[in-house]
Amino acid sequence: MALEIKIPAVGESITEVTIAKWLKKDGEAVKRDEVIAELESDKATFELPAEGDGTLKIRVAEGETIGIGTVIAEISGDGAAASAPAAAPAAASATQADPVNAGEQNPKASDQAGYGGTPAGGAASGTPPTAAAPAAGGSGATKEMKIPAVGESITEVTVAKWLKPDGATVAQDEVIAELESDKATFELPSEAAGVLRHVAKEGETIGIGAVIARIEGAGAGAPAAAPAAAPAQAAAAAPAAQAATSSSNTYASGTPSPAAGKILDEKGINAAGVQGSGRDGRITKEDALKAQPQAATPAAQPAAAPAASAPQAAPAVAGGNRNQRRERMSNLRKTVARRLVSVKNETAMLTTFNEVNMQPIMDLRNKFKDKFKEKKGVGLGFMSFFTKAVCVALQEWPAVNAQIDGTDIVYNDFCDISIAVSAPKGLVVPVIRNAEQLSFDGIEKEIVRLAGLARDNKLTIEQMTGGTFTITNGGIFGSMMSTPIINAPQSAILGMHNIVQRPVAENGQVVIRPMMYLALSYDHRIIDGRESVSFLVRVKELLEDPTRLLLGV
């Protein structure tokens, strides 16, 4: 009997997904839990594992968008007729009836069948290994760990990385996994002490409230029972663990996760040349970010053969590579694009420009930066000057620090400054709270702290929401001038650019000065031209005479 593979539920708000890529071909033999396809929703990309052993029959083509619960493939063969081993007949019948819910009805059978076929190993060696499983978890209660709510707009998360392997002994509050949403990465601590059992796999996307793991033997008796059963379990589990490892390596070793695959495609790197550090040798996102492209000279030699024969077929055609590569836009990128277009369409956005002579700030930094770092323990950068200048100007022109809420205008008497930071997963905007009350060293320390969290993907949603004004610095990438897009629901954003030595007129003389262009994009519905231009001129005055910041004038 063929086993039908259906699209599982991946979140309350998701009703359809797109088949991004078939990782196995039609008619190819597959193993249980082997990843056969990548699915995409408008929020995330996740993997679809095979639910049994057998031959894959694809029903739905790559690129099609289908609803939750739709049958997209079949698996035929002996392994599909009984997706669990014969040693557990109750679990086998449950899996045939409903492969998705079988693990929920019989968690232990699901765990044994899903991690290397332990029942089969137990049958070969006798009854003691089978009896050892209840002994490990029977010393205390089993604690189900569920995905906690991490934000109002987040309905699902991805298991980015298991920090503790399946079967490991964990302590209460010990961090066991890293979870990733479309906005932030956060840690999952253990809710009890005991033996950890994975329910969700690394890279799998699951909904809020879903069970991600179980803690067996949760309670006071768990630590004492674990050493007693350890020798027998270790002896019986060794062959099964070796079999599981070799079985996993047949498909997981060297296979990139969906996020890693996209990064490798963007870099033009072949996954075969990347060493995976994930479970069973899978290539993780971190591996893909660290991967460096190899020299392409060998690849250029085969391409020279068609080019050599080209003049014979079509002498008039000019030489050179004219290949095109087309890739589907991910649903996540579609959502980002839709939001940016929404800001452009729903706001009366306008940009005004000015330029700043950075010589006074540079002279001040060169004079005091060593003493500042020695006394304050942090370097003196440009961002603290800009942040202080912006806070002063915002308090003088409160409309620039306000936002529209329906038919009301909400004015903020505080300055929560959002700072754009480049992170491994993209541009993030952490917020410096009450920046108007911070000193220069306080601002610099907060920027260093938030930038470190961004680089480690440790920023929380609370740390990236609620800002009243944004500063973005495209100058570090060489940008000379730009029109930044407002960070909704804010009403304005300041764009910094690169510093260029240019000739300017001072007191009737042409002199060379380090100049920077400033751009202020603002919502004209709430901010008039007088306010926007006056705000930017005030920032210019404060930056060109930084003693004003110290004296408050």
CA 205 → CA 94, 273, 371, 462, distances in Å? 24, 27, 50, 22
Instruction: Measure the CA–CA gap between 157 and 148, rounded to whole angstroms.
Output: 10
Instruction: Measure the CA–CA gap between 518 and 544, rounded to whole angstroms.
Output: 13
79 and 52 Cβ atoms separated by less than 8 Å = yes
10 Å Cβ neighbour count for 65?
12
Which two tokens mark 9?
A: 């539920």
Which long-range contacts (C-beta less than 8 Å, at least 24 apart) are formed by 327-331?
A: 327/265, 328/18, 328/20, 328/63, 330/20, 330/40, 330/45, 330/262, 331/18, 331/40, 331/41, 331/42, 331/43, 331/45
Instruction: Measure the CA–CA gap between 424 and 259, rounded to whole angstroms.
Output: 12
Which two tokens mark 224?
A: 């004492």
Instruction: Measure the CA–CA gap between 419 and 452, rounded to whole angstroms.
Output: 13
518 and 536 Cβ atoms separated by less than 8 Å = yes
* CB-count burial class (<10 Å; 0-12, 13-18, 19+) for 477: exposed
Strand blocks (E) in 80-138: none
Instruction: Measure the CA–CA gap between 384 and 471, rounded to whole angstroms.
Output: 11
Alpha helices in 357-482, H assignment, sequence order? 359-376, 382-396, 440-455
The catalytic residues are 524, 528
Q: Say what angle helices 382-396 and 440-455 make with each other, to 10 degrees.
A: 110
What is 174-192 written as a DSSP string? -EEEEEE-SS-EEEEE-SS
Instruction: Measure the CA–CA gap between 39 and 17, rounded to whole angstroms.
Output: 6
- Cis bond upstream, residue 514 (ω within 30): no
SS3 441: helix
Instruction: Measure the CA–CA gap between 380 and 546, rounded to whole angstroms.
Output: 13
